[in-house]
Amino acid sequence: MTRAAILDVALELASRDGLEGLTIGLLADRMNMSKSGVFAHFGSREDLQLEVLKLYHHRFEQEVFYPSVMEPRGLPRLKAMFARWIKRVSVEIASGCIYISGAVEYDDRPGQIREELVAMVQAWQGALLRCVQQSIDEGHLKPDTDAQQLVYEMYGLILALHHDARFLRMPGSVDRARQGFERLLQDYQNPPKE
């Protein structure tokens, strides 16, 4: 078995059970390998968890961030980022979001995994913040738009979506998140020029 195949299965398990639920023994059973065989690829459980986290972040960037930055600067890019983010969360309703579950698992637990998670989430929030600022600079959003507040509200929509769709299994949660984003944009957008 290759390291990549092991990481794919580890990511699936961590999405379902959280990073803390991921163990070398569980992964070995799932891969039909010995614990020492899995351990040979990762020096420790923490190393395994960090590699899973990096793989998750890489896939998030590939699916959400990089395709979105191909859109024109400003509001088209911001809309693309949110749409792809919603699409990703919609898929994760069945499995779970490692950023969200990781935040719950590691919110008060110091260490390298928490530091990595924080850095990854901050990088994404930073990308959103830059995109909102570009939307202001391009004149798509009002000049007095509080970029940090808008990012906060966007993040809140995603957290509510994940909670309502995954935990409460409420139908229509994805549509509610999309509607919430559209309402946000209406509040922040410059009125159309006549």
Q: What is the pLDDT of residues 114-149, one digit of tens each?
A: 999 999 999 999 999 999 999 999 999 999 999 999
Residue that is written with structure tokens 């990549």 in the block: 4
Measured CA distances, 26 to 10, 53, 60, 92 (Å):
9, 17, 25, 21
Nearest C-alpha neighbor of 95 from the set 136, 52, 146: 52
Specify the pLDDT at position 191.
75
Backbone φ and ψ of 141, nearest 5°: -120, 155
Please list the ranges in the chain whose pLDDT falls under 70: 1, 192-194
CA 65 to chain CA centroid, Å, is: 10
pLDDT in the model for residue 72: 97
The predicted pLDDT at position 129 comes to 98
Partners of residue 26 on adjacent β-strands: none
pLDDT value at residue 193 = 67
pTM to 2 decimal places: 0.91
pLDDT of residue 194: 60
